[in-house]
Amino acid sequence: MGDYSKALEFYEKAHKIHEKALPPNHSDLAPSYNNIGAVYHNMGDYSKALEFYEKALKIREKALPPNHPDLATSYNNTSQVYNNMGDFSKALEFLEKSHKIHEKALPPNHPDLATSYNNIGLVYKNIGDYPKALEFHEKAHKILEKALPSNRPLLATSYNNIGGVYNSMSDYSKALEFYEKGLEIYEKALPPNHPLLAAFYNNIGLVYKNMGDYSKALEFYEKVLKISKKVLPRNHPDLASS
C-alpha cells in the first residue's frame, strides 16, 4: 500500500503541474488522469479509478480520431474496472468499443486482437454465457497459435481460459485436456516453484475433485502446497487453505 500511496502522490503532483500549464481539455492531461486511475485501480478503489479513467476518456473522445489506439486503451481500462465491480454488462459495452478499434487498426492475426477476444471471453464467463465465452477464447487461441511458437506461456494462458470455461460447463474431460496442454508449456518454460504452475496444479486438482477422483485431486493439491510452502511466508493465509 505504501508504494501505491507514493505513486499517487507523485502522479498528483505531476497532474497539478499539467493542470496549471495546459487548457482544461488538453490531450496531454489524459495520460495524467489515466495514471492516477491506474493507481486507484491497483489499490482496489474502483469508484475512484472509474472517476479518473472517465476523465481521461472524455478528453480522448474529444481530442482524438475515433479509431485511435489511446481511445481503445481508455475503453479497455474502464471495462476492467466495471468487470472488477461486477457490472459485467458495462464491462462488455466498453470492451466491445475497444475491440472495434483494434479490429480496424490491427492486422487480423495480431496478438493484441487475441488479448481483446480473451478479455471479452472472460466477461462472458463471468456472466455465465459459456458458449459465448468459449467462442471468444477460441478466436483468441487461433490467433495465438498462428502468431506464437508452441512453447510460449501466453499460449498456456489461452489453454487455461478454455479449460476454465469447460470446467464451468461441467465438461471435465475437455477441461482436463486443455489444462494439461497449458501445464505442459508452463512446466517447460517456468522454474519448478513458479506460482503460475501452482495455479495450473490447483485448476487440475479442482477438475479431478469435480470428477470424484479424490486421490488424483489430492496429488495435484499436494503439488500446490509444496510450491506455496516454498514461495509464501510461514504465516501466509493461503497456506491455511492450500
pLDDT band of 91, cuts 50, 70, 90: very high
Q: How many residues does the chain have?
A: 242
Please work out, in degrees rounded to the nearest 5, the angle formed at the alpha carbon of residue 59 by the alpha carbons of 55 and 62. 140
Angle between helices 153-168 and 172-189 (to 10 degrees): 160
pLDDT band of 145, cuts 50, 70, 90: very high
Interatomic CA distance for residues 238 and 208, integer angstroms: 21
Q: Specify the 3-state DSSP secondary structure of 205.
A: helix
Interatomic CA distance for residues 113 and 123, integer angstroms: 16
Our measurement of the distance from residue 217's CA atom to the centroid of its chain's CA atoms, rounded to an integer in Å, reads 26
65: Cβ contacts below 8 Å, ≥ 6 apart: none
> What is the predicted pLDDT for the residue at 27?
86
Nearest of 127, 186, 187 to residue 157 by alpha carbon: 186
pLDDT greater than 80 at residue 194: yes
Q: Which of 28-32, 180-184, 231-235 has the highest mean pLDDT?
A: 180-184
- Give pairs for 158-163: CB < 8 Å, separation 24+: 158/114, 158/118, 158/182, 159/185, 160/199, 160/200, 160/203, 161/118, 161/121, 161/122, 161/137, 162/134, 162/137, 162/138, 163/203, 163/207
pLDDT, one tens digit per residue, over 160-174 is: 999 999 999 999 999
Interatomic CA distance for residues 128 and 241, integer angstroms: 26
pTM of the entire structure?
0.83
pLDDT greater than 60 at residue 198: yes
